[in-house]
Structure 1
Amino acid sequence: MPNFTLEQIRECMDHVDKIRNMSVIAHVDHGKSTLTDSLIATAGIISMGAAGNARYTDTRQDEKDRGITIKSTGVSLYYEYGLNDDAKVGHLINLIDSPGHVDFSSEVTAALRVTDGALVVVDCCEGVCVQTETVLRQALSERVVPVLMMNKVDRVISELQCSGEEAYKIFEKTIGQVNELIHTFQDKRMPDLTVDPTKGTCTFGAGLQGWAFTVTHFARIYAKKYGGEVSYWTKNLWGNHFFNKTKNCWTNKSANEDGTTNERGFALYIMDPILDMFRYVLTDNKKKYGKLLDKLDIKLTVDDEAESGKKLLKAIMQKFLPAAQALLEMIVLHLPSPVVAQKYRAENLYMGPADDECCKAIKECNKDGPLVVYISKMVPTVDRSRFYAFGRVFSGTVATGQKVNIMGPNYVYGKKYDYFTKNIQRTVLMMGARVEQVDDIPCGNTVGLVGVDQYIVKTGTITTIDDCYPIRPMKFSVSPVVRVAIEVKNPKDLPKLQEGMKRLEKSDPCVLCIMDEETGQNIIAGVGELHLEICLKDLKEDFCNNAVDFTISEPVVQYRETVTAPTERQIMAKSANKHNRLYFEGAQISEEVLKAIEEQEITNDQDSKVRARMLADQFGWDVEEARKIWNFGPEGVTIMRNILLEATKGVQYLHESKEHINSGFQMVCRSGVLCGEELTGACFKLKDATLHGDALHRGAGQLMPCARAAMYGCLLVSQPRLLEPIYLVEILAPEGCMGGIYQVMAKRRGQVISEDPREGQPLADIKCHLPVGESFGFDPDLRAQTSGQAFPQCVFSHYALIDSDPLDANSYAGKIVVAIRKRKGLKEGIPQIADYEDRL
């Protein structure tokens, strides 16, 4: 039975300074779900004995079977917390446990958007891994405050057989790596967010055994026992502070003049008692561990005393250093409440002006202000028929039956597209696999909404006022670059499949379900092999109820098209009625400008004069041309990497034709000339135009195909190239496996970019770049070549140029183009200028 009631949670929701919204983030298998169990057990939802093994936040059967988290899971917990027993105050912790596998990084992004703090879990033995860096970078870009949990300290003691001093060096090195990442990626307008054991922002422990401690916890124990200020003990229990037993004083020197050594404060006062407890219990020395238990005033139950070995050790350590107590101290004291966090997060979240009514309400975390809710993901109900819209109330109060405006991800301020007005049927609290209904939820809290799932595909903003800008869309660290095509065996089942695909697309923040009308293909795109496997399993079992038989194609990769040179001449295209002519030039967009677009320094909704000045001053563009940027493309994606600008002089009727030409541009951006893949890094300049005087003869049917043909012509004479997606692969392997790793990489066009031996261990960290197209079957191949000793982790890194001419059918890129065109049902062969000569 939980130690709290729903009424206590609801009451605490009104005290914004007593709320903490936090995510648990880490590399795969570093122990997030296991650690979370300690907090769940302390709240009374599961027993202390089950903590570490129950994995309460792994709610799906396949999560339990695979032993990894697949979907982020929210749970609201209530605690009475206070450092002194007589001053305990109720705190509400809205906790989200997120996945660590790179294929599910989008779930981490969705969790971070609705939380203000992040518990970063690091396995002390493995240290900072590639996904630790990814999730920490995401947290810092969202202005989420990190605290650190050094997990699996029991492995350092039992497996590595470390002394107190050796353990300290491992901890210090890992904390240094984390702080280096924080220093590199944190927003410079934020205060210093680096973690420090002396400040209490770093915890050490073992989630599986349910124990943890902070340096400040031990400082309080010793201050009470020996006297002195807590700050004095905290300072001496970390860093280069050694205890001279001869003189009975502290020093900063590890050795004395007479040759005797001094012991480090952390090793002597913190690690040694823990090491003694481990040694005595695991060697079954009842006399010695009995004395320690008496000293520490630990009382074992009859059931505990009957145990031995690791089970007894877990029971003792849970009583000696309860993990939840250390974690709660860190969460309550060092993570910000919504009223603090929203002051500095508002400008990053809200797309409108800072003096807007909604922005002010978000900054103040005003529960009486206009309602602003951001929905970060859709959570399927138990029967998978409907969805809870899961998100965060940033201002106002959301209530059952309330009439609200829903803005989808494609909504543009002032327009009515992707905009709905509906009633909320129910407001619920997410409690892991369960939900609890509440009447209303004020700002500063996470929330689940029922009845809006028909209008929100993945994310959206919900408000009660008409004059509200949406919350900024999330930027994912991964891209859905691996695709499969699905065909139903029985054509009658096609509507069921497509309905299932729509529901699958809702359920996952990063999956793309494309029903291509031109080619008749049903395509599902995922981040990697595992992500696709899970999505296809969900589609078949949950969203199609095992009622649809379908076949799945081999996975293929999403390439991109680009240009590498400017056109040497103007390309002219005629409309079908021969009454209109458009003259275009094409050019590539430089890497520097593309980077500025990706970092959203240059955007479509910027003031044109400000943008033009930046492009002219920083990137050498012609200021007159830069002022006449018409649009960016393709629309509907977070980062639009192509530009259409108008560089004509004295052309009549151009303004009336702008929309039609832009529509042609958007078609080109979505489907490039080589093989219908997305275009990136191309700039089209409209240099001249001859337009018919009668609007009837220069309508969309005439100008859209004309503009498209001209831009395709520009692409074909601008040295077009294909871009392929690249994984960054991090491999942990013994040094004797290097030959096998290099062999596998060479066979798959991979490049080893770094090789770092691990200090004190016969292991090395190898980082490589591997084309996504060559990654299928990579894991088993690598394990076969290294006798199962190498452990790879792939994370999407970037798109790289394929350095061969795609217009040559015998080149590597040309063969890819031919294969993609065949798969998509496009006209066979490599496209040539002659294919468009009836228009050019």
Structure 2
Amino acid sequence: MGDFDLDCKKVRNICILAHVDHGKTTLADHLIAGCNGAVHPKQAGKLRFMDYLDEEQRRAITMKSSSIGLKFKDYDINLIDSPGHMDFCSEVSTAARLSDGALVLVDSVEGVHIQTHAVLRQAWVEKLTPCLVLNKIDRLIYELKLTPMEAYNRLLRIVHEVNNIVSGYKSEKYLSDVDSILAGPSGVDLGDDENPEFFEDDEEDTFQPQKGNVAFVCALDGWGFCVGEFAEFYAKKFGGNVTSFKKAFWGPRYFNSKTKMIVSKKAMGGGSNIRPMFVQFVLEPLWQVYQGALEPDGGKAMLEKVIKNFNLSVLPRELQHKDPKTALQAVFSRWLPLSNTILSMVVRCMPDPIDAQSFRISRLLPKREVVDQMAGSEVFARPEHVRRCVETCDSSPEALTVAFVSKIFAVPLNLIPARGPNDEIIDTSSEEESDECFLAFARIFSGVLTMGQKINVLSALYDPLNVETTQKHLQEAEVRSLYLMMGQGLKPVASVKTGNVVAIRGLGHHILKSATLSSTKDCWPFSSLMFQVSPMLKVAIEPSDPADMGALLKGLKLLNRADPFVEVTVSSRGEHILAAAGEVHIERCIKDLREIFAKVSLELSGFQIATSAGPLCDEPMWGLAFIVEAHIRPSEVQSNELENPQQSLDQYGMFTGQVMTVVKEACRAAVLQKRPRLVEAMYFCELNTPAEYLGTMYGVLGRRRVRVVKEEMQESSPLFTVHAYLPVSESFGFADELRNKTSGSSSALLVLSHWEALMEDPFFVPKTEEEIEEFGDGSSVPQNTARKLIDAVRRRKGLPVEEKVVQHATKQRTLARKV
């Protein structure tokens, strides 16, 4: 396997996408445990193998996308686990670009959430083939106490809601209403819950269990199934057709036990006791197994019946274990093994690199518009030949090598293998600027990439038809080492064939965030990555010790290279500005600077800044226009000055510092005359909390100027879902306070929504009797919200603040004694 000589038809590149805490990393653990044995089955779901950073293990959330190669039957599967938190959405973009298919996870209890919309859109834009995985089925049994029929209706609703989202993307309706994307669809009217035939089969739906691209799983207990597995079993038992059973196991189909036929509800004669086949033959046995294993009064007869019917080899000591979960997992891991179910679905439903690249080529390398004179020329034909190599996934010996680097990531030098694929010693001590080695996370789209090969690094602005861009946007580099990524480890390889994912050493100094690699200069760069949000949260940072400024600058440079979403700039006042997606992302970046890239002590006194400063608090001005009219009276201009107008302007001091200062103050005065207002960034906030903590949660929201727009109780669940808008300036520490006040029972997800004007006048002075009674007599500046925000920002920036300060106060004394 060292040289990836396998046929591309036996390769699958997939990523796991989901909302935060919906079970991505737990699922990845079980897939790894079921394939290459890097994770013991008993540790799957607890080890979090793909979360290789200490911070990821501590917070129990994924922050960096990571890859691992799995061997399933005779297939090679490159699995990429991605974060679910919105602050790390850039990692989702990098994972999606290198993949051909996506496992979209949805929690069957929580349902579709805001990040589910985002990852479905990411998969749609990148032209990935998705499969739907409905996770945490066990919570419907022992947590919500749903009956099989109630659980079926809930699963039916989730599948149709996800299909509605994808249908909206297909029709491009999501472009017309941004708010509906953020808040999510209002849902589907199911009508009577006891009338499942409300839904008819729609061949246009993306996800259909009968097609085999929907899996029902419990990643924590390690089991899962597609309807095809039950269809094969019951087709053998009743002597029917497997295809007919597959179609019947989802939707309004019923089994007539007398005639042994699949019929409609009308043919069954109605009645409240009849159940759809999915409920009768799939969910009810699952419920009985859980009840038999977990309930105190539940007998073991159901477990023994399942073991006998499906010919399972379960040890008696596992069934008699004092922990009922052990018996349950022992039966399910042999009856419905999770890894076999998911990877079989991947092989069956997701395309190989050859089919995928022919479909995705319009996204990867869109056709370029050129002038008619170039359309038929050889200069234009050469890049088009490269494009065809990518489209056909050409792996012939004469094929051109084309690859795409989605991100650069840092690995400690001591984790880099000291020996190459042929057991040769590799020295990396003199190649890096720090204790970190930068590797390129890449996918080979054409040809073969070999160790020691010279390669062209193309930036996004490179144009093969324009010679002038060669020097600016093209560099030549050498591939020093190639590694197969194994989650927390690296395996050296000598070469990588088209259609595979690999880590490349030797390109760290030549790539900023992402790039296209090509063995020829006649190649168009791949299209840029699409990010769900922009890095809008900015902080100014500086070292505690000014002597560490050099180390900080070096660390910022390395961080900017390693993180695909970070923006590092220098303001006009000389401050070093770090822009990220949100508070958690900022914390991750500062931690990387302190412990990896800079290793200096930094001062997170972060405040929002911009390139220009307004008169209120030196923040960016927005929504304004200045009209400047220059006047020079002819009587004051001599004839020789008209011949040399630049000399005339210099003589009159039009561009001197004094005049620039006057113009600046004039502009600031003009803004103040037009009654300026503050404009603050707003987060869309999705909160989930139990009913007993609802009042406590509203108390936390009230202290942070939150505007609630929607509140609803999740069906068949004790959780309330609240949608609200939260000012970004009030978001620092919000998640921690919410968890502390609600004992960890409430969670919040924040995503940038819009910019909103604060309509309060910061210079308001009460004049009428009613205003004086409410705000005071006007002897001091009214402390409304806008004024408080301005004063707070000005104090942080060291700007003057209008306030009364008593310096020498004395208490009035009297000699009178009152009895």
Task: Report the TM range for the smaller structure's normalisation.
Answer: 0.7 to 0.9
Give the match's secondary structure for 2:542: strand
Moved more, 783-792 or 179-188: 783-792
Where structure 1 has 5 or more consecutive residues not aligned to the other structure, the ranges are: 1-5, 81-89, 580-688, 831-840
> Any idea what the Cα deviations from partners look like across 1:625-684, whole Å, max 9, x if unmatched?
xxxxxxxxxxxxxxxxxxxxxxxxxxxxxxxxxxxxxxxxxxxxxxxxxxxxxxxxxxxx
2:288 matches 1:276: yes
2:410 matches 1:380: yes
Give the match's secondary structure for 1:75: strand
Return the structure number with greater strand share. Answer: 1
Match for residue 185 of structure 1?
169
- 1:410 CA drift (Å): 5.8
In 2, Cα distance between the equivalents of 1:193 and 1:348?
A: 22
Q: How does 1:86-165 map to 2 (within 5 A)?
A: 90-165=74-149
- 1:133 CA drift (Å): 1.5
Work out whether residues 244 and 262 of structure 1, in 8 Å CA contact, stay in contact via their aligned partners in 2.
no
Return closer, same or farther for 1:313/1:805 CA change in 2, 3 Å cut-off.
same
Return closer, same or farther for 1:744/1:467 CA change in 2, 3 Å cut-off.
same
Q: How does 1:19-418 map to 2 (within 5 A)?
A: 19-45=11-37, 46-80=39-73, 90-186=74-170, 194-245=206-257, 247-253=259-265, 257=269, 259=271, 261-282=273-294, 283=296, 285-301=299-315, 304-305=318-319, 307=321, 308-350=323-365, 353=368, 356-367=384-395, 368-383=398-413, 384-409=435-460, 414=466, 415=469, 416-418=471-473
In 1, Cα distance between the equivalents of 2:102 and 2:644?
A: 58
Match of 2:629 among 571, 577, 581: 571
Return closer, same or farther for 1:185/1:260 CA change in 2, 3 Å cut-off.
closer
- 1:528 CA drift (Å): 1.9
Match for residue 192 of structure 2?
none
Give the match's secondary structure for 2:412: coil
In 2, Cα distance between the equivalents of 1:690 and 1:176?
A: 76
- 1:406 CA drift (Å): 1.3
Match for residue 555 of structure 2?
500
Give the match's secondary structure for 1:49: coil
Match for residue 776 of structure 2?
none
Return closer, same or farther for 1:227/1:564 CA change in 2, 3 Å cut-off.
same
Give the match's secondary structure for 2:436: coil
Work out whether residues 255 and 261 of structure 1, in 8 Å CA contact, stay in contact via their aligned partners in 2.
no
Moved more, 352-361 or 446-455: 352-361
AA at the equivalent of 2:81: D
Return closer, same or farther for 1:723/1:456 CA change in 2, 3 Å cut-off.
farther
Work out whether residues 725 and 772 of structure 1, in 8 Å CA contact, stay in contact via their aligned partners in 2.
yes
2:528 matches 1:528: no
In 1, Cα distance between the equivalents of 2:785 and 2:489?
A: 52
Give the match's secondary structure for 1:51: coil
Return closer, same or farther for 1:302/1:93 CA change in 2, 3 Å cut-off.
same
Work out whether residues 198 and 215 of structure 1, in 8 Å CA contact, stay in contact via their aligned partners in 2.
yes
Give the match's secondary structure for 2:250: coil
Return closer, same or farther for 1:509/1:287 CA change in 2, 3 Å cut-off.
same
Match for residue 631 of structure 1?
none
TM-score under structure 1 length normalisation: 0.75
Give the match's secondary structure for 1:10: coil
AA at the equivalent of 2:496: I
In 1, Cα distance between the equivalents of 2:225 and 2:368?
A: 44
In 2, Cα distance between the equivalents of 1:558 and 1:204?
A: 49
TM-score under structure 2 length normalisation: 0.77
Work out whether residues 408 and 513 of structure 2, in 8 Å CA contact, stay in contact via their aligned partners in 1.
yes
Give the match's secondary structure for 2:603: strand
Work out whether residues 74 and 432 of structure 1, in 8 Å CA contact, stay in contact via their aligned partners in 2.
yes
Moved more, 292-301 or 354-363: 354-363
In 2, Cα distance between the equivalents of 1:551 and 1:564?
A: 33
Match for residue 651 of structure 1?
none
Work out whether residues 541 and 606 of structure 2, in 8 Å CA contact, stay in contact via their aligned partners in 1.
no
In 1, Cα distance between the equivalents of 2:274 and 2:155?
A: 20
AA at the equivalent of 2:339: A
> Any idea what the Cα deviations from partners look like across 1:296-347, whole Å, max 9, x if unmatched?
1001246635634101211210100011121112111111222222223222
Moved more, 712-721 or 30-39: 712-721
AA at the equivalent of 1:93: I
AA at the equivalent of 1:120: V
Work out whether residues 303 and 331 of structure 2, in 8 Å CA contact, stay in contact via their aligned partners in 1.
no
> Any idea what the Cα deviations from partners look like across 1:333-384, whole Å, max 9, x if unmatched?
1112222222232222225528723322222222344332211111212335
Return closer, same or farther for 1:430/1:505 CA change in 2, 3 Å cut-off.
same
In 1, Cα distance between the equivalents of 2:564 and 2:141?
A: 40
Give the match's secondary structure for 1:353: coil
Match for residue 601 of structure 2?
549
In 1, Cα distance between the equivalents of 2:758 and 2:206?
A: 40
Percent of matched pairs sharing the same residue: 33
Return closer, same or farther for 1:126/1:106 CA change in 2, 3 Å cut-off.
same
In 1, Cα distance between the equivalents of 2:554 and 2:392?
A: 42
Moved more, 359-368 or 164-173: 359-368
AA at the equivalent of 1:11: D
Match for residue 421 of structure 2?
none
Match of 1:435 among 482, 485, 490: 490
Give the match's secondary structure for 1:417: helix
Work out whether residues 72 and 97 of structure 1, in 8 Å CA contact, stay in contact via their aligned partners in 2.
yes
Work out whether residues 610 and 620 of structure 2, in 8 Å CA contact, stay in contact via their aligned partners in 1.
no
Q: How does 1:678-693 map to 2 (within 5 A)?
A: none
AA at the equivalent of 1:379: F
- 1:570 CA drift (Å): 5.1
- 1:399 CA drift (Å): 1.7
Give the match's secondary structure for 1:233: helix
> Any idea what the Cα deviations from partners look like across 1:472-496, whole Å, max 9, x if unmatched?
2212113323333333233222212
Aligned residues: 693
- 1:760 CA drift (Å): 2.5
Q: How does 1:457-476 map to 2 (within 5 A)?
A: 457-476=512-531
Return closer, same or farther for 1:285/1:767 CA change in 2, 3 Å cut-off.
same
> Any idea what the Cα deviations from partners look like across 1:71-96, whole Å, max 9, x if unmatched?
1111111221xxxxxxxxx2121110
Give the match's secondary structure for 1:381: strand
In 1, Cα distance between the equivalents of 2:257 and 2:35?
A: 43
Give the match's secondary structure for 1:799: strand
- 1:65 CA drift (Å): 2.3
Report which structure shows greater RCO (CA 8 Å, sep ≥6): 2
2:781 matches 1:726: no
> Any idea what the Cα deviations from partners look like across 1:153-174, whole Å, max 9, x if unmatched?
1111222222221221111111
Point out the structure with max Rg over C-alpha. 2
Where structure 2 has 5 or more consecutive residues not aligned to the other structure, the ranges are: 174-202, 370-380, 414-434, 612-618, 765-780, 803-819
Work out whether residues 439 and 504 of structure 2, in 8 Å CA contact, stay in contact via their aligned partners in 1.
yes
Moved more, 229-238 or 756-765: 756-765
Match for residue 777 of structure 2?
none
In 2, Cα distance between the equivalents of 1:776 and 1:466?
A: 47
In 1, Cα distance between the equivalents of 2:123 and 2:643?
A: 52
Give the match's secondary structure for 1:317: helix
Match for residue 11 of structure 1?
5
In 1, Cα distance between the equivalents of 2:236 and 2:115?
A: 41
In 2, Cα distance between the equivalents of 1:47 and 1:66?
A: 23
Give the match's secondary structure for 2:394: coil
In 2, Cα distance between the equivalents of 1:302 and 1:691?
A: 102
> Any idea what the Cα deviations from partners look like across 1:724-750, whole Å, max 9, x if unmatched?
322110111245655554454444232
In 1, Cα distance between the equivalents of 2:800 and 2:276?
A: 73
- 1:288 CA drift (Å): 4.2
Give the match's secondary structure for 1:297: coil
